[in-house]
Amino acid sequence: MALSLTLLSVVSLGLPGCVGEFRSANSGVTTLPNFLSGNLVPMTTFTTSDVIRFYVSVTWDNVTQEPGWEDVVWNWYKDGKIVGHLEHARAYFKGAPSTRFATQPASALGVGHFQAECLINGKQIATAEFDIR
């Protein structure tokens, strides 16, 4: 009996607390150089020579708890069709807000109108629309 309680205690220490719903505190798309310099002003128009970074500052209801490992997915769409996909399976979250990002070269997407989305555990928490010319 004592061994099973000890094992249960050890296992429960590794489990994250109930943090509630994830949501975006801030998000947008910008160029990689802007992001790296701390300029997080969202942009709406890019050229094919740009490298686009979609960033999301993630928070959750109970910020005193550590969410732990979560699945993060990034989808990039052109005319409603997926043209880019990135999975961060089992991304570790600790401390809110937690900034996450995905990067796509504009040249790989081509010209046109685009939408990008970020999902955590299958729930959309942020979107961004932009054009590449």
Local confidence band at 86 (pLDDT 50, 70, 90 cut-offs)? very high
> Residue ranges of the domains in the chain?
21-132
CA atoms 36, 37, 42, 48: torsion sign: negative
CATH 2.60.40.10 fits 21-132, yes or no: yes
Residues with Cβ within 8 Å of residue 39, at least 6 apart in sequence: 30
* pLDDT(72) > 60: yes
Confidence check: pLDDT of 124 > 70:
yes
DSSP output for 79-103: TTEEEEEEEEEEEEE-SSSEEEEEE
**pTM to 2 decimal places:** 0.83
